[in-house]
Chain A
Amino acid sequence: MTALSARRAAAAPPAPRRPRRLLPYLGIAIVGLYCLAPFYWMAISAFRRPEDQFDNSPLPTPWSLKNFTAVFRPDVGFERSLLNSLVVAGTTTALVLAIGICTAYALARLRFRGRYLVLGIVLATSMCPGISIVVPLLKLFTNLGLINTYQAMILPSLSFALPLAVWNLTVFFRQLPFELEQAAMCDGCTRGAAFRKIIIPLAAPGVFTTAIITFIAAWNEFIIALSMVNKKEMQTATVSISKFTGAYGFDQPFGTQMAAGVIVTVPLVIVVLICQRRIIAGLTAGGVK
């Protein structure tokens, strides 16, 4: 408390009482502005008419949905891209959770030799650059005829999603009351049953958070989806947006791209805002203590 006021005083020594109390709010406002202003600009640009796309007024005059209708023109095939993204990110998340829950449980609960080795391996793989995985797999999948399939996007996605999920889940599982599981085993549950009946329900919030974080990571993935697919129908949404072409050749259809960006981002932002607390807990647990 005292240190806080001291620091605040140091930030604005000669100022009278009132501005001193306002200063943190000013800081907060700046941080908020910093984070939201570019996003705001994207959303606002999406609602302009294509004619006054290059208008720099803070609010569109008049508002228009033309950019959004342009996104869903049949020749763009954006619905299909959204579906592809959903399939790839959804399957990746489901697979990763199924595998990751087992592993994280073992890492968090069981005492066995090589525990830190496995954790280290999981962490090391998460640091592996995407391109080191994409290049060899691109060749392999080309030879196997797997290019332009969902598998070709889902399998490489496991490389970053699985370490992320295992790490998050391990940290979450460590915080669960171990005693409950022992109590269940005393009452005659096997370890597997104790895991299913006690740990899984208690771990649900952590699993849920991990699911969201993994889904967002897989949904935002770019380099794998860009490399493994060359057919328009199989593109994911992020790749599809980056490849939008204008009606007149070379001009980039920024309005349409901003509208598509809003469509891709707003669901994520809403989920993130609803589950804000959990996600922050998950992110900070994933990276640091």
Chain B
Amino acid sequence: MTTVTAEPKTTSTGTQRRKDAQRSGRLALVLLSPTVLVLGLVVGYPVISAIRESLYERGQGLDAEGFVVQGDKFVGLSHYRDIFSGPASTAFWNAFWNTSFFTVTTVVIETVLGVAMALVMHQAFRGRGLVRASILVPWAIPTAVSGLLWRWVFQADGVANAVIGRQVLWTTEGFHAKVAVIIADTWKTAPFIGLLVLAGLQLIPREVYEAARVDGAGAWKAFWRITLPLVKPVLLVAVLFRMLDVLRMFDLPFVLIGARKESVETLSMLAWDEATNLRYGAAAAYATILFLYVAVVAYAFVKLLGADILGQVREQGRSRPDRRERRRRAVVPREVTA
């Protein structure tokens, strides 16, 4: 964008290439720096400053002469001590287990449902466009609005109770509140997994199934031995993204059940609650713990299951001069000159 220097015409390809690489590097620097700068400012800085803040306490005590003293006081790891084994530990471990529970249950349910949906959509020849459109509706609805929508469905005299014919007070404290959150979250995101898996299914060549059939594999076996292994890369990435999303869940339980409700309070909600009560130190400690939790889960997932997140870009980068590419390369200039 900023390089408006004229291209020097060199005859030696070696120096040309070196110069090209140099110019690429410089251009890359110019093009990348805004993003790196912005991300550093809005992600890097907050994360680091949260770690710093978690070691401080908002000081607002009286000094010896009875004046109000403003300013942060260094308290070391005492917030973390409070959280892990001190007065805040009950709330923390409750939120920690809630978050983990939601993550495991919703991701498992959504994955199973999503794969089932993808299989259904993959088999349909007509109506696929229609169903693909309808699958985008839950995705497009704001989570806050979907929280309200489910709060309405789960009202004491709402439609959910009318359908099951029982009187469950879904939005009050208790296990049913967890169930309500899981149902609402599943509704919103299972179709999304279905969408991603469907894209993966469409990449599997028909011949593989035919070969399996010739070899005498039944439909069930074909699913476990062919479909699942072949969509695994897609599925792993989808599951990873969902997991990280559920770990930071905030708006759905917040709107559907409410703030400060023990049975659905997640780590994000706990941190938010502390922050709005101006206990920034404790809030920052919670936020840092959640950040580390997410990082550990992501790292473990990528290492243990080998989810190749960068695969999309790297693979295409590597396979650049393959046959199809070369053919296109041969064709395109002719099209341009024509």
Contact = CB atoms under 8 A, between A and B. Distances in A.
Nearest to B122: A4
B96 interface: no
Contacts of B286: 131, 135
Given A7-B219, A128-B43, A191-B27, A257 B152 contact: yes
B145 interface: yes
B218 A111 contact: no
A264 B6 CA distance: 50
Interface in A151-182: 155-156, 158-159, 162-163, 166, 170-171, 174-175, 177, 179-180
A99 interface: yes
Given A45-B152, A135-B284, A288-B238, A222 B291 contact: no
A162 B35 CA distance: 8
A15 interface: no
Interface stretch (B80-88, B173-181, B203-211): B203-211
Given A39-B137, A131-B290, A289-B312, A219 B142 contact: yes
Contacts, number: 361
Contacts of A279: 136
A35 B4 contact: no
B316 interface: yes
Interface residues on B, range: 35 or more
Contact of A34 (B130, B187, B222, B238): B187
B290 A41 contact: no
A241 B46 contact: no
B237 interface: yes
A36 B157 CA distance: 21
A83 interface: no
B140 A125 contact: no
A72 to B, nearest CB: 17
Nearest to A8: B123
Contact of A35 (B191, B238, B267, B329): B191
B115 to A, nearest CB: 12
B275 interface: yes
B145 A131 contact: no
A12 to B, nearest CB: 11
A120 B299 CA distance: 12
B50 to A, nearest CB: 5
Interface in A226-276: 227, 238-239, 241-242, 252, 254, 257-258, 261, 264-265, 268-269, 272-273, 276
A266 to B, nearest CB: 10
A180 B331 CA distance: 11
Given A10-B218, A27-B123, A264-B145, A3 B35 contact: no
A136 B313 contact: no
A280 B195 contact: yes
A177 B332 contact: yes
A223 interface: yes
A38 B153 contact: yes
A287 B223 CA distance: 23
Contact of B134 (A32, A110, A185, A285): A32
A59 interface: no
B59 interface: no
A116 B47 contact: no
Interface string B241-283: 1001001101100110000000000011001100110001001
6 contacts: A2-B213, A3-B213, A121-B36, A124-B298, A132-B290, A183-B336
Given A41-B153, A254-B155, 18 more contacts: A3-B206, A4-B123, A7-B123, A7-B219, A32-B131, A32-B134, A42-B149, A110-B25, A110-B28, A129-B294, A130-B268, A132-B46, A135-B283, A220-B143, A222-B144, A238-B142, A254-B148, A284-B199
